Amino acid sequence: MAVKKFNSTYTHLLILAISFVIMFSACNNDGDLRSRFHELDFTYSAGVGELYSIKIDTTGSFLLGKGRPPNKIYFGKLNNEEKLRLDSIYNAISFKKFDTIYSNSTADLSYYSICITSRGNVRCFTVLGSNKEPEKLKLLSEYLVYLIYHVKATPIDTIIIFKSLDNVYKKPPSPTG
């Protein structure tokens, strides 16, 4: 009987050990900790109001630009709750179904542009004063606007280029031509 009890205990310990290995390897998988995007670049304007741009990388670090063009730059990192919410919204979207531009002819409305770098590809979506964009894209933009106004960031002295800014804020032509 002592041998049978030893084999039973050994089997239970082996099953328990394998379960823990599987559970911890799933929790520490880099794919679970990183977003599907490499970089998310977003520019938002409330029409005649301020212009904001934010770049968020896969780890949740971000650069926030304020002004036309961004003359104040801030650095920060999304907290876990903010990052999980962003990942949740982003991962629910099938970007292949979206047009690249949604536009409304009414002037002075808010507008935004999102440029997503993923697997070496850059895909941009621009919404100019429209209420016709897909609901999931609108949800993503609303959360990014929320982050712009609520994230904690520290001013830094640097110059940064926002790709999304190119899509909504064109430089006027030079007077000579």
User: Tell me: the pLDDT tens digits for 29-61?
Assistant: 433 445 578 899 999 987 766 789 999 999 999
Residue of higher predicted confidence among 110 and 5: 110
Nearest to 53 by CA among 168, 171, 162: 162
Q: Name the pTM for this structure.
A: 0.71
Spatial contact of 124 and 42, defined as CB atoms under 8 Å apart: no
- Eight-state DSSP code of residue 172: P
For tokens 């002592």, name the residue. Answer: 2
Q: Over 90: is that where the pLDDT of 121 sits? A: no
User: Tell me: the pLDDT tens digits for 140-171?
Assistant: 999 999 999 999 999 998 888 888 877 665 54
Mean pLDDT of 4-8: 55
Q: How far apart are the first and last CA of the chain?
A: 97
Which three-class secondary structure string do you get for the chain?
CHHHHHHHHHHHHHHHHHHHHHHHHHHCCHHHHCCCCCEEEEEEECCCCCEEEEEEECCCEEEEEECCCCCEEEEEECCHHHHHHHHHHHHCCCHHHCCCEEECCCCCCCEEEEEEEECCEEEEEEEECCCCCCHHHHHHHHHHHHHHHHCCCEEECCCCCCHHHHHHCCCCCCCCC
Nearest to 83 by CA among 36, 149, 19: 36
Tell me, what's the pLDDT at 102? 81
